[in-house]
Structure 1
Amino acid sequence: MSSTTIPLKKKRRLGSKPEVEPSQISPPKDTKKLKRAQDSTSHSQESTGAYSEELEVLKRDGQQDLELHRSECANLRQIMQDIQSAKMSDADDKDEYVANKRMQASLHFVTLKKLNRLSHFRCKAARETTMAGKQRVDSLHLQLQNLLYEVMHLQKEIKKCREFKSKDEDIELVDVDTFYREAPSEIATPHSTKKDPHKQRLARLDWELEQRKRLAEKLKDCQSNTDILAREINTKEEYLDSLQPQLATILQATIPVQEYLSMPIHEIRAQHQTAKLLPRPLYILYVQASAYQEARDSSMSLKIEGDKDAVISAGSASPVIEEESDSDNEESLTQSKRRRKTVGNKLEEKRQKLLAKHPLQVIMTLKFRDGSVLTLTFSYLTSLHIVSVGVDLKLSSAAKTTTVTSDLLSPDRLLSCLHPGDTGLVSPNASNAYQFSKLGMDSMSSYIGKTGHPYRWAQWLAGLDFLPEDSEATKATTAISTSHMESTLKALRSRTRARLALTKQLTSLERNTVPVPAQSVGLFPAKIAARLTSWATITKEDFQALLFMQRSPALELAEDYQHFYLATCSRGSAILKAAVLLSVDYPRCPPHIVIGVTLTGEHNHSNDNDIRDLESELNLHYDELVTEKSHDYLLSNQLQRLLMCFDVYVETRGEGEGAEGPTEFAREKMFIRLTRGRGRSKPYKYNAQYRYFTQR
């Protein structure tokens, strides 16, 4: 025991290594050093002959030690059982026997202790091996991360290089052909630049720089010339400005001469200066009226009146001046703040501003031979953007008026309806109605006395033209349009689709072919012997004149705007004529068909119950022919049913009635009963599932 424990303690002291941080030594090097240390330790121990449990662990098999541990435990159990049995027995030598067994048990305990120590060494070796492997993995992971970081850095650098844009890229260079054609050879050097794009780019940039230097010199020369011309212009402007006061003095001195010669040049010049302050509509009116006065009507006179200073101040006002004026009138501002305007006052101010006129007005005076003078005052409403007219008529002393004529010559009615419908009571600008409504004001007619009459011809004279108002009195509203939009569009689509389908059907019927859609083929038997022989359009008079139409309820349905057709069907000697009344609202309103048959006489609804039943089958039970996809082909389905029922009519005619009839009609249909009931009704109803005919 002592020989095994003492070397073990020494080897543990010798084999222990100082702890080293992973950051200081890389894991692979530590692993190699550890192996080298173990190999050197084992080699030194073997050479010295000392005992080492670490070497013993490496030489021993763990599975064998496990089996040895199990056998030692079993032996211990057996020894304990033997000791217990010996103590329970009455043998004389049981004490000696128990002592021997204790010695054996002690040896087994020593073996177990040895195995326990070996297992601890194995665990320690496994942990060291695992730690070495983990360190190696960490080292490789760090190397991988370093490589990834390097790759990422290289990718960023590559991206920067690719996305790099030089300032020369923003320069619009001349094309290559022009460069080689215009650039000198010492800059272009075609023998080297044509093969190397980089050198070519540098050469083009050099040529661009050379051109810009030349243009800069040219710009400098032009600027110097511009300065010289500007100085000359300033000198001439100063000379012309000095002439202005001299000319004004000369014109002022010529005023008496102008009055004596009836040439008011000074007055006309002042009017022209004032005309520049007019709004554009009144300016156009003034210019055109002046031209007409000079060319055609010398008795007409024009002048401009109003406050020129108000127009000039309104046009030259600036926020700075307003701020200065506000600072000068602090006392008035404090008073206005104390007396704040109510909502009613603000609304009234907005109404007054809406009806405000431009400060300048154009006065047109028309003189008549009897001495009467008509004065028209044209004003421009700045917010309403219309021109109004104030009318004033001064009668001569010779003109005498009565009560009736005075009403006719009143300013409000004198120029009313100068053009048809132009009463001057409604604004020609449709947007004015919304402006009045927004401020809760009445219509334009309520303010005629203040604004004047906005005649349409006045707008024309001022160069204004507005869209005419709707002749209907009904006012369009958004709510009505919204509520009817979807339904109207659907009705339009349905009507168009139905008319297109109806056109196809009528084209086919004119060729004596009934076009049955694929969705409705199963509603009729496979074989129908009757054929459509003609299809023609007729008038309302022809429709009403048909013999079998007499006393028919369909006559009350006929209207001029509807469509009328006549179809002729035949089977052998039997002839069927069908008058078709087609409504304009087809297919929502189904066609109405009236029938007359020629077969051993004339048969119609008035003398043949079978014909009446046939018409009922067509006109009352049309809903059976309507499907979702064949709704627009109702006319074709009704005509196909007409041919089918015509076969039933001729094939069952005379059966069970005792009357003689033609035998040319073979019975090709399957009937449950030929007739039924007191009315002897025929089997016009077709059962498509079982393919037989029966009565309703």
Structure 2
Amino acid sequence: MQASLPVQEYLSMPFEQTQKQTEIARHLPPPLYVLFVQANAYGQACDKNLSVSINGDVDEAKALSKPPEDSQDDESDSDAEEEQEKTKRRRATTGGQLEEKRREMLKHHPLSVCVDLKCKDGSVLHLYFFYLMNLNIMTVKTKVTTPTDFSTAISAGDLLSSYTLLNCLYVGDQGKETPNPANRYQFDKVGIVSFADYVGQLGHPYMWVQNLGGLHFPSDGSESVCVGSSLSASHMEATMKFLRARVQSRLALQKQFASLEHSIIPVSSECQNLVPAKIITRLARWTTTTYQDYLELPYTKHVTDAGLAKESDLYFMGVVERGTARLYAAVVMSPRYPEIAPLFSVSLSWKGERTGRTDDNLRAIEGEVNMFKHELQGPRPGHQLFTNQMARLCMCLDVYLETEGQDDSVEGPREFPREKMCLRTVRGPNRLKPFKYNHPQGFFSHR
């Protein structure tokens, strides 16, 4: 076997390694074993870029599965009782005991399963699955490695973090609370208010993680019940595709944010027809913001009132300017981008403050950026959508400023000379401006 190692490596058939892993797999708890078997089977049958391994202390796992020796039971019980009595007398409070009980309750199995998903660009998503023995749930932690180091954008800090990367992979699955109803009663006994406080330490108990391990917890909406390997197999393929798509969309956003922080809005060659060759409005600033700060902005109230801004979303602020005009754009980005388009709310600081609630043309700009996903998506799967929206925002501000009426009492050249060709500068009682760009003729018209 030792002499055949080079041949195994050359033929990509690591028999010895597989044999060792299979031997260790015998000591996995049932949910991790189901995950290990099903992920291996899926990798061999459908996805050569998926690899599975087992990490952790095998000796400790073996010790867990050994039954205790009967001869020592009586002595150990009496010793334990004496020790407990001493402890009770010594401690006036139960704080230390509670903390010990919490630690014991949240203990995970010494073995874990690692699934590595390699993407086309060479990046790898590492998924580390753990099993919490006393809670009977599984959790996952993540890490992404890339072939080359990106010029790290400050605003992209949360995009690949383990805390937010896999948020809402399936609709509404935030992975903050335990899916096992029995855990609520266990938590009450040891004073745990919310599992969310321990997510950073233990990993996220997403529902899809339970499914991959064959764990099923009935809920009000569940109709069919399938458990074990069949449940895992039914979710494996779709989940792996979602995971890959999520990593690729986040890496694309990370590159785009790096450009935005240098005031460059990248527009791919396939999307050049969406905007004119010359846009004078430029991006002045791009930063990340928080959910609370977003709620406090006066021009985002219509978004929050409609329930379109959730705590699980990502929030950003962009500032685009031309001359003395400055446009502020607050952006809500769903974790499921590009399936769900980013949502822009704008406020213009020029001759006073204007928003989409007070200015029909600013509302029209919001509509141009937010509503026409089918135009702005670009080549599938649509990773260019966000930067195309940013480019359209700059283009619309150009049109807005250039079609404003000139004050005849002011002498000298116009601050914003008309460079865009428009069929009509305004239309209708709302005096709406022509924001639709017509390629290849190069003129602007009303929708």
TM-score with structure 1 setting the length: 0.32
Task: Please identify which structure carries the higher helix content.
Answer: 1
Q: Whose RCO is larger (CA < 8 A, sep 6+)?
A: 2
- Structure with max Cα Rg: 1
TM-score with structure 2 setting the length: 0.49
